[in-house]
Structure 1
Amino acid sequence: MKPLIVLLGVFAVSLLVMKLLYGTYECALSGRIAMFAMLIFSAMGHFAFTEGMTLMIPEFIPFKTATVYLTGIVEIIFAFGLLFPNYRTLTAWLLIVFLILVLPANIYASIKQIDYQKATFNGHGLTYLWFRIPLQIFFIVWTYLSAISKY
């Protein structure tokens, strides 16, 4: 929920600033700025809640802590890549693939009832997926519309 609030809040502020500075709403640019902020916010969680995030990774995957750190770094790289026109489209496609690839970790965490912030097994469980799966799809569509689509 917090990443969504960051995304929408930064988007609204960015739209307003664009309107005040340039006299027009720059939806795609504001969308990329908002995704940048959301990715940076999300990446911070990889470093602040490493122990809990390692619980989200299935047992058969080795190097869990390194994977959590690496995915946090990848999110930071994606965040910056969205802001550079020469890298924007490639970054957006890679981000979409990344968002699809990490969805199973969220499903696994829900099944195991993991609360990644507290590193416990007292999370919201499967009900969380009713929010998380549509949210992940929303992030994918947002990325596509703000960084790939020529609407």
Structure 2
Amino acid sequence: MTVIVLVLATLGFRLLGKLSGSARFATWRASAGHGLAVMLVMTASAHFVPPGVSFMPNHADLLAMVPPFVPFPAAVVYLTGVLELAGAVGLVLPGTRRAAGACLALLFVLLLPANVYAALADVPFAGGTATPLWQRVPEQILYIGVALWAAGILRRPAGRTATASPAAR
């Protein structure tokens, strides 16, 4: 679901940029940053939803994902929700986009053990089945890449252009 939100929000912002001529969404990079921000607001909200709300992930679902070696798991769930919200705000503000992208990439790396644990321990999510490891790890890698790319940290190597090289022509 989160990948779908990321993709649809990114496409929506890019389309908005094309149709309106808005400089804010004039590039795929900026649109992806805003798309990731939308996704983060959605995922962060689950950190604060009380148990018993069955139509969406909630605090209890996320608490079950925390590996046993992590101290103060409830506090960690709340903290990661706050960090996701802060990262979302940082991505939409041009002055903080680079720092937010770097910090979010680090957060996604730090959240990877919880995703691995949840998959291996078969922790159900939002009343459904556990998300398999083969899906969780590539999703985290995608989020890391989008955060770094939207922040302008991942760029095309210098000297490369979008046109084909002379050898390829």
TM-score (structure 1 length as normaliser): 0.88
Q: Distance in 1 between matches of 2:155 and 2:140?
A: 22
Q: Of 123, 137, 143, which residue of structure 1 is paired with 2:129? A: 123
The question of 1:59 aligning with 2:68 is answered yes
The question of 1:73 aligning with 2:82 is answered yes
The question of 1:26 aligning with 2:30 is answered no
Please name the residue that 2:2 is paired with. Answer: 3
Paired letter, 1:58: P
Please name the residue that 1:138 is paired with. Answer: 142
The question of 1:13 aligning with 2:34 is answered no
Query: Greater share of helix residues, 1 or 2?
Result: 1
**Contact 1:10-1:33 at 8 Å conserved across structures:** yes
In structure 2, the residue corresponding to 1:117 is in which secondary structure?
coil
Please name the residue that 2:99 is paired with. Answer: 90
RMSD: 1.8
Percent of residue pairs bearing the same amino acid type: 31
In structure 1, the residue corresponding to 2:47 is in which secondary structure?
helix
**Contact 2:5-2:39 at 8 Å conserved across structures:** yes
Displacement over 2 Å in runs of 4+: 122-125
Q: Return 5+ residue gaps in structure 2 as ranges.
A: 50-57, 157-169
Higher RCO, Cα 8 Å, sep 6+:
1
Q: Return 5+ residue gaps in structure 1 as ranges.
A: none
Larger Rg: 2
Q: Distance in 2 between matches of 1:135 and 1:92?
A: 16
Deviation at 1:47, TM superposition (A): 1.8
Deviation at 1:60, TM superposition (A): 2.6
In structure 2, the residue corresponding to 1:115 is in which secondary structure?
coil
